[in-house]
Amino acid sequence: MSLEILDSEVDIVIAALQPNLTAFFEAWRPFFSRFHIIVVKDPDLAEELQIPAGFDLKLYTKSDMGILGTTSIDFSGHSCRYFGYLVSRKKYVISIDDNCLPAKDNGGLTVDAIAQHMSNLKTPATPFFFNTLYDPFRKGADFVRGYPFSLREGVECMLSCGLWLHNADYDPMTHVVKRSQHNTKYVDAVMTVPLGAMMPVSGINVAFNREVLGPVMFPALRLRKEGKHRWDTLEDVWNGLCAKVVCDRLGYGMKTGLPYVIRSDAEAGKALESLKEWEGVKVMDVVLSFFESLKLSSTAVTVEDCVKELTSIVKENLGPQNAIFAKAADAMEEWTNLWKAHGAQNA
């Protein structure tokens, strides 16, 4: 059931939160150069971007966001990358944060994160029964004894969540406690996230089938004092949880593991600034129990159906508990309208 993914079917979306992207693009040149790239400048960033020549690249700025008209969705900070998801016209999107560089594997070879994401998406996922050799479609692996033959065809993988070396994607409390600890463990594995299991998808290093999942790839949940650091945000985690329940309902899969990137820790010491006011801990306690008990109805047979139903449930069940959930539901509803007007292939 493996798919073919053409280079022409892929957009690389980069959220520009810093002005000088020269080192970033030069490091990624061997892997980015054959793809179309969308760069979305943080609307709060005043400085001009520095991007080296030689890339097939389209830059979007605050003025371009005016095509959306009046919208309640805040595309500032890390959320600006979602504007790239919206305006892309490719089947697949791969997004990597602008403070990440190519990693090296255990043999010292530089990792082509783009190729690995494409491999994850074009080979089937196996969410209905866990394979103890992880991804059976990787070279050198297969289904283990006892794995039902009726499930070995797998299902289409819709999202690939990569990982990070050096500066791991921690919340501010963990950053502060482990400020001198770096993630140096390169685990050479890919696995399907099982049916019904939730995971915190990180937008740092992610790829997905935009043609199918686009309507659920939204920046909805924003903390009250959200900043420009990853540990200040939960939009990607909320987005990933919504995407997971949609995939579970419609019989699609999601993978995590390879590829790795290296994250800079130049700003890791600033985590202490966010520590006292970070509300993410309490929010996630509520969010987890909500998604673990969530069941979408059998009448939801498309991604759009699922998003509509999910929005209604969030508004009814979570909205009264906390204003940020009510705003998240409003943003999800707004994204549906924006997708129909600007994101769909025929928009």
- Please count the structural domains in the chain: 1
Whether 206 contacts 246, CB under 8 Å: no
On whether residue 238 sits in a domain, the answer given is: yes
Classify burial at 37, counting beta carbons within 10 Å of its beta carbon; exposed 0-12, middle 13-18, buried 19 or more. Answer: buried
- Extract the tokens encoding 204: 């740092």
Domain ranges, residue 161? 97-343
Which phi and psi angles does 39 have, rounded to 5°? Answer: -110, 125
DSSP state of 315: I
- Extract the tokens encoding 65: 């966001």
With a cut of 60, say whether residue 276 has pLDDT above it.
no
Whether 254 contacts 244, CB under 8 Å: yes
Which phi and psi angles does 56 have, rounded to 5°? Answer: -85, 90
On whether residue 172 sits in a domain, the answer given is: yes
SS3 334: helix
Question: What pLDDT is attached to residue 344?
Answer: 82
Distance CA 23, CA 344 (A): 34
Using alpha carbons, select from 307, 315, 312, 316 the residue that is nearest to residue 337: 307
Residues 6+ apart with CB under 8 A from 327: 72, 222
On whether residue 20 sits in a domain, the answer given is: no
Classify burial at 131, counting beta carbons within 10 Å of its beta carbon; exposed 0-12, middle 13-18, buried 19 or more. Answer: buried
Distance CA 124, CA 1 (A): 7
Using alpha carbons, select from 234, 237, 227 the residue that is nearest to residue 267: 227
pLDDT-derived band at 187, boundaries 50, 70, 90: very high
- Residues in a beta bridge with 191: 256
On whether residue 261 sits in a domain, the answer given is: yes
Mean pLDDT lowest for which of 19-23, 72-76, 309-313? 72-76
Question: What pLDDT is attached to residue 268?
Answer: 56
Distance CA 20, CA 5 (A): 31
Distance from the Cα of residue 252 to its chain's centroid: 16
Residues 6+ apart with CB under 8 A from 134: 141, 189, 190, 191, 257
On whether residue 201 sits in a domain, the answer given is: yes
Residues 6+ apart with CB under 8 A from 37: 11, 12, 13, 14, 55, 56, 57, 58
pLDDT-derived band at 269, boundaries 50, 70, 90: low
On whether residue 220 sits in a domain, the answer given is: yes
With pLDDT > 90 as the criterion, what percentage of the chain qualifies?
A: 82
Residue 66: how many other CB atoms lie within 10 Å: 9
On whether residue 137 sits in a domain, the answer given is: yes
Question: What pLDDT is attached to residue 19?
Answer: 97
pLDDT-derived band at 176, boundaries 50, 70, 90: confident
On whether residue 247 sits in a domain, the answer given is: yes
Whether 257 contacts 163, CB under 8 Å: yes
- Extract the tokens encoding 194: 């099982």
**Mean pLDDT across the stretch 88-94?**
98
**Mean pLDDT across the stretch 127-144?**
96
pLDDT-derived band at 267, boundaries 50, 70, 90: low
pLDDT-derived band at 230, boundaries 50, 70, 90: confident
